[in-house]
């Protein structure tokens, strides 16, 4: 998944009456995968209100969402820092991209909450600080009166901060994922 897939995903979400943006859905997915989700059902259930509601997808739509799930798993697990936040392309307005980043963070925090991670006392100080920062980014508003070059630079820095923070938290959550994997193999 990359920014060029964003319009196609938005069209799919609009057709399927999914109220989340692709950015928010990707944030949610990222948190679920980091928390040990290995099957798409929890994510699809959150997108559609239930897993059964997702059965109305056509083959292309199913493949697009399956690709999003698989790519996110692969990229988070990879060693080459291939993971990228799913956000609109740079040719979109700064306001649209900042809004998408804000909703990405909201989706991610929601996913951490679904997995019971967001308020876990086991989180490190750095993880708690990241969650607080993501909460603030999730509430950000765009001031279009500012210098556009400064806005672009600030946006790029914040996106990179979120990406590195999410990858770091993903690594911190490895014991949780390992515990989930162990409990699933026992059953």
* Domain annotation for the chain: domains and CATH numbers: 3-186 (1.20.120.740)
- The pLDDT assigned to 38 comes to 83
Q: Between these two residues, 2 and 96, which has the higher pLDDT value?
A: 96
- The pLDDT assigned to 148 comes to 76
Q: How far is residue 124's CA from residue 43's CA, in Å, rounded to a whole number?
A: 26
Q: How far is residue 178's CA from residue 171's CA, in Å, rounded to a whole number?
A: 11
- Specify whether the CB–CB gap between 26 and 107 falls below 8 A: yes
184 has a pLDDT exceeding 60: no
pLDDT class of 41 with cuts at 50, 70, 90: confident
Q: How far is residue 73's CA from residue 84's CA, in Å, rounded to a whole number?
A: 12
Q: Which residue in 104, 46, 40 sits closest to 69, CA to CA?
A: 40
- The pLDDT assigned to 68 comes to 93
Average pLDDT over residues 139-164: 85
Determine what percent of the chain is predicted with pLDDT higher than 70.
93
- Kindly tell me the sign of the dihedral angle through the C-alpha atoms of 87, 93, 94, 99: negative
């Amino acid at each position: 998944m990359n920014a060029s897939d964003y319009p196609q995903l938005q069209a799919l979400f609009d057709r399927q009456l999914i109220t989340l943006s692709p950015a928010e859905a990707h944030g949610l997915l990222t948190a679920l995968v980091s928390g040990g989700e290995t099957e798409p059902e929890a994510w699809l259930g959150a997108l559609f209100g239930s897993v059964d509601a997702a059965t109305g997808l056509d083959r292309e739509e199913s493949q697009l969402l399956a690709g999003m799930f698989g790519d996110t798993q692969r990229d988070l697990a990879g060693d080459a820092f291939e993971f990228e936040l799913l956000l609109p392309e740079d040719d979109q307005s700064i306001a649209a991209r900042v809004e998408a980043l804000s909703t990405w963070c909201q989706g991610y925090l929601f996913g951490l909450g679904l997995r019971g991670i967001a308020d876990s006392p086991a989180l490190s100080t750095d993880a708690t600080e990241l969650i607080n920062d993501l909460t603030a980014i999730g509430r950000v508003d765009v001031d279009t009166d500012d210098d556009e070059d400064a806005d672009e630079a600030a946006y790029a820095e914040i996106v990179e901060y979120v990406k590195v923070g999410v990858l770091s938290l993903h690594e911190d959550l490895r014991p949780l994922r390992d515990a989930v994997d162990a409990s699933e193999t026992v059953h």
